[in-house]
Structures are given as structure tokens and as C-alpha cells.
Structure 1
Amino acid sequence: MPFIPVWDHNPVEKIHFQAVTLALIAANIIIYVVFQSGAVSVADVYSIWGYALIPAELLNAGFFGDSTYQVFGGQAQVPERLTLVSYMFLHGSILHLAGNMAFLWVFGDNVEDAMGHIRFLLFYIMCGVFAGLAHTLAVPGSEQPLIGASGATSGVVAAYLMLHPKVRLWVLALPFFPLRISAGVALGIWVAFQLYSLFFSADSHTAWWAHVGGLGAGAILVLFMRRPGVPLFDRAAA
């Protein structure tokens, strides 16, 4: 990750409170603390993985069927099609969780402001679903669980980049050097990093296709899901 976003001076205008953004952050934190941080046995881990997205399992069951294909000897906790949603609320570590929630915290409120509460929630879930599908189609035989909100938050990043590229951000780079740069530069670098990593990274533990799938979904969906009259590229540099 080339940087961690810290803060943007970009107040909301059409909503009084970023309720959905904060609710999503709270849900991710609560699920991690209550269910994942206490998983100490193999059985506990298998139970959690029952909510993860496993490409081979999803394709074997079909998008409208229940799973009969078991990975790790575990039993699916929900129908496989629903793991396209449940996977995005699980995280592999506290750092994994913190990184995703930092992006959602900084950028989610303004995207929610541009769309409204209900449409933003639908947007977030749809970006996560498309991210999961992109990963599944890229590695259809994989039995490795996909977890994390990265695909959904990538969609939020894409929407923010198209809405507010001139807003100035504070970010931590390399990894703790503070910089104040425009969202267009910061998020453009982040997007380029995802695309570069997709083709050239040796890190097999990061689902780069999910990131890119979420980015693509967010860039397209924001065109149709923002409120009427909300322009793209609207803010002057501050």
C-alpha cells in the first residue's frame, strides 16, 4: 500500500450525518472483535471460513445453489451466493481491518453525501459483490478464502476520485511520512499501484483482481447512483 489516508477537508453538504459509513465501520469492527479475534481453535477458523468467498466453492455450487463442495473439511455457513456479501465483513488481521476502515472513514462520508444513505449502502455492497466476482472469475479453481472489505472500499476510492479529485488530503507515506497532496494525485497513485500489482506483484496473498474489480464497479456505478445534479470533478483545490 503506497500510503494510508488520514484526513480530508471536505465537509458533507447534503446529509447531516454519515450514518451508513459509520455503521459499516462499526459492523466490521464488531464482527472482527466478537467473532474473529477470539477464534483460537481449528474448528473456530473453519466456521469463520464458512462465510468467506472461495471461488472453487462458489462456482461448484452455482450462483443460485447451496454448497456441497467443502474446503478444509469445513461446512458452509451460508449459501455460497451469499458469501459474495459476507466475505467483505471479515478480515485477516487487525492491520488488514484498520487499513480498510481508514479508507472508508476518510472517503466514505463524501461518497455517501453524493448518493444519499440508501444508495450509498447499495453502492458499497455492489462494489464488494463485483469485486468478489472479478476475483472468482480470475482464479476460478482457487480454494483460498477471500476476505476483507478491500474490494468495496476500492469502489469508494474510485467514486471519490471522480467526485473530488482536487480536494487536498493528508496521507501517511513510506509509511509514516505526512504529506498533503490532492486526491487526484494520491488516489491516482493508489489506483496505478493496484494495476501494477495485478500484473507484476509476487504477493499471492493479496486479491488484486478484487481491488481492480471494485475500482471498476465504483467508477461506473457513481455515474448512475449519485444524486441528480451532483457534478463530477466539482471541488476547487483547498
Structure 2
Amino acid sequence: MFPLRDHNPSGRTPYVVYLLMAANILGYLWYSTSFPTDRSMALFYATFAAVPREIMMGDAPLTLLTSMFIHGGIMHLAGNMLFLWIFGDNMEDEMGHLPFLLFYLVSGVGATLVHVMSAPMSNVPLVGASGAIAGVMGGYLLMFPKARVDILIILIIFFRIIPIPAFIMLGLWLAMQFFGGLNADPNLGGVAYWAHAGGFFIGLALTVPLWLKRGGPRYWSRTHGQPPHPETTYSASRIPRVARNLPRRPSGPWGK
């Protein structure tokens, strides 16, 4: 099950999402080609990745930020950027550009600290943007629980794109993080499940004031959990480019 797009166009250009994607992609192109040996790359990670033991000792606090812009490989980067592209533009649209940037960074730092608490003596470096992106997903769930998300289902030779409500897709994703976290040793490398889960709930909590400002339960009643503007429709036979600027209807290492 792989998300491809949502049916929730944004009402303004998501400049911060573009900036974050550019920073992650250009950064990856730089460090993946600038350190040709394993030793030099290891030194790069040791300098800029978040190491739980060092953070617990009060060393290298800036790695709480720098680690969010480092990825362990092209697929790690591509997956994170896809999720940011699908869910980030709508949260930026609702919050505004600068508040969204602060929201993203706080979610990412909080997610890293959750991981540090799960493995405080680990020397395994933590890298990746998905703790921050998990925060975006948590906020998206609160604001647009019934927005439709197209997912690609692959079962051996069976390929099918189907739309499902965001709360189902995001709920399944969150459940996978909990099951993964319960079955993984946080002192070893792999997927930083607790960073994902922590970032998700931090982002959801940070979005509560915006949700209440929109009317809280009344906002859900007014929008029925759907986007507050006409959703994008797609043909089942093709995958067109998602429209990102439509008028709004007025409405009230570790990898992560």
C-alpha cells in the first residue's frame, strides 16, 4: 500500500514545502557525491546526524536540526519527499508559510527527542525527515480526516489505485509504527518507529489550536471532515498531475 496523491488541492503556492524539498534533495546530491569513501561518509554522519548518547550528554544539540536534512539513501529520500508533497501543501495552506515552517521543525525536533528517549545510550546515528513529516501527517489527520488519498496496492502481479479516506490510510500507517516499535530493538539500526509515532502525535497536538480556531467539532460538522474546498477528481485510467492552486471556498543509520 503506497500513497500516490490526495484529492485535496491547496489554495496557495506551498513555497515552504518547495523549499524543504529542495533543501533535502540538493543536500543529498551534495553529500552523496562529496564523500567518496565509507570513512569520510561516516565522519559526515558523526558530525551532522543525531546520536542519542551524545544528545543525552548535552553534546551536539544542533544535530537535532541537521539530522532532519540527511538521508540514508535515495529511496529513503524519495519516500519522505513523496509524503511531504502529498500532505505538506495543505497544512502550509491552512497555517501560513512561516507558521508551517516552525511547525515542521518543532515536529522534527520533538520526534528526534522521542527516539532519544527510547534509546538514550545508543550510538547509532539518526537521520531523516520523516519525524517532521509524521507531524505533518498528524496535523493533516486532524484537519482533513475524510480527505481522499489515492493509494497504489501491489499484490505480486495485481496493481490497483484506489481512493480511501485519510483517516484509514494514516491510521494504518500509525498502527504499523507502533507494531514496528514493539518488535524492534531501539539500540540497533533500522527504522526509527518511535520517532515516527512521536512526531505524528506532536504534530497532531500542535495543530489543535488551529483546529479550535476553525471551530473544532463545528469545523468537522461544517466540512464533514472533507477539504474545505472542492476536491480534485481524477480519471481511474490515468494519473494526472495534482492541481496545487485552486480557489478556496470560504470556511469559518536510523532512518526516519
- Mapped pair 1:156 → 2:136: yes
CA offset digits 1:123-144 (Å, max 9, x no partner): 0000000001001111010000
Give the AA of the match of 1:168: R
- Measure, in 2, the Cα distance between the counterparts of 1:50 and 1:185: 39
**Corresponding residue for residue 5 of structure 2:** 7
**Corresponding residue for residue 58 of structure 1:** 55
Cα 1:197–1:113 change in 2 (3 A) is same
Give the AA of the match of 2:161: P
Deviation, structure 1 residue 145: 0.3
- Measure, in 2, the Cα distance between the counterparts of 1:21 and 1:124: 10
Query: Normalized against structure 2, the TM-score is what?
Result: 0.78
- Measure, in 1, the Cα distance between the counterparts of 2:142 and 2:99: 17
1:181 to 164, 170, 179: 164
**Corresponding residue for residue 22 of structure 1:** 18
- Measure, in 1, the Cα distance between the counterparts of 2:119 and 2:197: 14
Structure 2 unaligned blocks of 5 or more: 232-256
Query: Normalized against structure 1, the TM-score is what?
Result: 0.84
1:40 to 13, 36, 39: 36
1:236 to 221, 226, 250: 226
User: Contact 1:128–1:151 at 8 Å: present in 2 too?
Assistant: yes
- 1:50 match: secondary structure: helix
- 1:81 match: secondary structure: coil
User: Contact 1:56–1:142 at 8 Å: present in 2 too?
Assistant: yes
- Measure, in 2, the Cα distance between the counterparts of 1:37 and 1:167: 39
- Measure, in 1, the Cα distance between the counterparts of 2:89 and 2:215: 15
2:192 to 207, 214, 217: 207
User: Contact 2:124–2:189 at 8 Å: present in 1 too?
Assistant: no
**Corresponding residue for residue 74 of structure 1:** none
**Identity across the alignment (%):** 39
Deviation, structure 1 residue 49: 2.9
- Indicate the larger mover: 209-218 or 220-229: 220-229
- 2:5 match: secondary structure: strand
Give the AA of the match of 2:168: V
- Mapped pair 1:221 → 2:221: no
Give the AA of the match of 1:12: S
**Corresponding residue for residue 102 of structure 1:** 82
Deviation, structure 1 residue 52: 0.3
Deviation, structure 1 residue 39: 2.4
- 1:190 match: secondary structure: helix
- Measure, in 2, the Cα distance between the counterparts of 1:40 and 1:179: 42
